[in-house]
Chain A
Amino acid sequence: MMAQVMINPQDTYTHAAPNNDYMLEVNELKKTYAKKQALENVTFSLKPGTSFGFLGPNGAGKSTTMKILTGIVKADSGSAKLFGKDVTREPDAVSKFIGYVPQDITLYEKLSAYDNLEFFGEAYGVSGKELKQRIHDVLTRTGLLERSKDIVSTFSGGMKRRINIAAALLHRPKLLILDEPTVGIDPQSRNHIFELIRELNREGVTIIYSTHYMEEVEALCDEVAIMDQGSIKAMGPLGDLLEQYGQNSIYLEVPGLTELPQDPDVTSFRKEGSGWLLETERSAAVMQRLLRQASQHAWDVKQLEVVRPSLESVFLKVTGTALRD
């Protein structure tokens, strides 16, 4: 039998020295909650206009990192600077550049969508006619203009999520931080939110998007950081990560096959659905040998195909666990 290839979880990935091109520079953030290490030397930098995905399971440290960036939580050590301003020491100078969409729906359910937006707009320092214009604008963008006077508690989960995002856009932030903004919503609202994020990114807004859904990162982000157990395990452009860590896989489905034959080119394998997923850098050779085995043992092959590298396989490789474990 073959063994799975494991990456040492202590190998943390750090990225880039400070550079004037970066709008956000995060250096060696550490945070401990009641003796539990929530963040360990988190370091990354972002250029303006990036759409950056934080991928990791619950408890990986994504939300803590975002809370430090928005000034909600103070890091035990390390620094985070936005446009050269320290987020802890100069929160007023930084807050006007950041729009934060928390993981929970943080709206006043008894107030109308309009009243909520008016409150958050004024809280961000926008007022008067300009605020009214911007409320109209974000309601149009989120497709909720018709429902602006309705009480939020009457909205569906997806509509609430959209207003939750709209409330963070009223002061026209340069950096939009979204912490799992699509949890528990219908596909239509999810698509609406995706389209809104892409549109904002096209307009130059830098995005930090946290999720534990790989397909969301693949759909929205051009750079990804894989987080686990409080540290960044891998980071870089999506294509680079796939190239560096991803391997072609072969999917084989043979009813009744309980054990795979040894193959020196298969680096790891696991059960996947009704079949097996074999990772290899020499997919053609492995495929040939599998076909030979099938012929010799008269396997009833239902499926045999090459699977392109996925973020899931990257995640598995750098953390040693599947994301949804």
Chain B
Amino acid sequence: MKAMIIKELRLIGKDRRSFIFLLLMPIIFIVMFGSVFNQTDGSSITLRTIDQDQSAASKALIGQMQSIMDVKQLPADNLNEQLDKIKQGQFSSMLVIPSGFENSMKEGQAANIKLYQDPASQTETAPIQAILGSISSQYREQKLTTMLMANGESKAQAEAALASPIHIENVSASADHFNMIDQVVPGMTVMFVFFIMITMARRFFEEKKTGLLSRIRTTRIKPLHYLIGMWFPFVLTVIAQCMILFAFGHLVYGLRLGDIAALSAVVLCLSIAGTGIGLGLSFLVPGEGAAMVITQIISMGGAMLGGLWVPSYLLPQTVQTVGHFLPQFWAQHSLQDIIAHGAHLSDIWGSALILLTFGLAGLTIALIRLPGFLRSAAN
């Protein structure tokens, strides 16, 4: 068995295609997603504004908005041109403070401001509407305070009267801060772990096709030792793959790795799951082509449904439910628990056990199919 393991590790080491699939591709994806989401983290919401009033009140409103979001002021005389740009989809919304804004406020009338928006980009403009709603409420509170004080209430009494009966306190559930890199690095790692199945299927079919498997059967290597000798190097390969990708995330993006013992346990179980399924697949499918197609379906479909591309809670409820039947979900779930929520071994053992079950199911299929596979190689 030792001879099998050493030989297989040497072959994997010389396989450039596997290097591309298992390491280069995930690193490219991490860099790509990492760049996109890192920019998003640092930026604020942008609102284009045309101030047609050019008054102290309009400038005060803009100043207040600037403290919350990025306000880009546009020349007051080209409203139509800017509206055309919204229609063309160049940006999604624009706020216009019309002439007479200050006068309306002074006269105690409703001072209208207009938020033009692209109906196709409601998700994008929703936060802007919420912010503007909040600013509007602040103005209303200010007005009511002034009125109460005019009626003889003290400022403290007026503020107490306007205070909300509900106070929402933001408390972070974990000690660590969650950012998109915490999603991307484990997500891409888990997704590309399952690409090992292509390499595994290719190796088994090569052994069969070239007659090497038949020749090995004339030696003293027993069928079970052959199976384990072929499988174990792939477990080691996936462990190395995960180590390199997490180290890359840590060194380049400052990814926090959390409890290393827990992380190692999940990586071990993930490698058993990925390679176990790969083993079962190699012994089930009729040829290398079928293995390629099924691997892509398992890897990409599992990534989408298991919450590797976007957090699972953002997916529709049905998809979330389906995701619970996939190893990718449990791998990502437990990895994020360790990385973002400070989970330890005692917190992730359930997910780890589910991953092991997937791996053992694949191994069982391989063991059942092994005699048939050996017979087909001989003929």
Binding site for B on A (CB under 8 A): 33, 67, 70-73, 92, 95-96, 98, 100, 102-104, 106-108, 110-111, 115, 118-120, 122-125
Q: Is the CB of B218 within 8 A of A72?
A: yes
Q: Is the CB of B214 within 8 A of A72?
A: yes
Q: Residue B167 at the A interface, CB < 8 A?
A: no
Partner of B212, one of A95, A106, A125: A106
Query: In the complex, A70→B214 CA distance in Å?
Result: 10
Query: In the complex, A43→B2 CA distance in Å?
Result: 38
A124-B11 CB under 8 A given contacts A102-B211, A104-B211: no
A108-B378 CB under 8 A given contacts A71-B217, A95-B220: no
Nearest B residue to A120 via CB reads B219
Nearest CB on A from B14, distance (A):
5
- Chain B hits for A71, CB < 8 A: 217-218
- Chain A hits for B217, CB < 8 A: 70-72
Nearest A residue to B7 via CB reads A119
Size category, B interface? 20 to 34
Nearest B residue to A121 via CB reads B3
Q: Residue B113 at the A interface, CB < 8 A?
A: no
Q: Is the CB of B14 within 8 A of A110?
A: yes
Query: In the complex, A259→B212 CA distance in Å?
Result: 53
* 16 A-B contacts (beta carbon < 8 Å): A67-B214, A70-B218, A95-B220, A96-B220, A104-B211, A106-B210, A106-B211, A106-B215, A107-B212, A108-B7, A111-B11, A111-B14, A115-B10, A119-B7, A123-B216, A123-B219
Partner of A73, one of B11, B212, B219, B379: B379
Point out which of A67, A98, A103, A108 has the most chain B C-beta atoms below 10 A from its C-beta.
A108
Q: Is the CB of A95 within 8 A of B10?
A: no
Query: In the complex, A123→B5 CA distance in Å?
Result: 11
Q: Is the CB of A106 within 8 A of B214?
A: yes
Nearest CB on A from B133, distance (A):
65
Query: In the complex, A96→B6 CA distance in Å?
Result: 22
Q: Is the CB of A108 within 8 A of B218?
A: no
Q: Residue B221 at the A interface, CB < 8 A?
A: yes
Nearest A residue to B377 via CB reads A72
Nearest CB on A from B295, distance (A):
22
A67-B378 CB under 8 A given contacts A98-B218, A111-B11: yes
Partner of B2, one of A72, A122, A124: A122
A102-B215 CB under 8 A given contacts A110-B11, A111-B11: yes
- Chain B hits for A96, CB < 8 A: 220
Nearest CB on A from B212, distance (A):
5
Query: In the complex, A125→B3 CA distance in Å?
Result: 10
Query: In the complex, A98→B220 CA distance in Å?
Result: 11
Nearest A residue to B226 via CB reads A123
Q: Is the CB of B7 within 8 A of A100?
A: no
Query: In the complex, A72→B379 CA distance in Å?
Result: 9
Nearest CB on B from A117, distance (A):
11
- Chain A hits for B14, CB < 8 A: 110-111
Interface residues of B in 198-221 (CB under 8 A from A): 210-212, 214-221
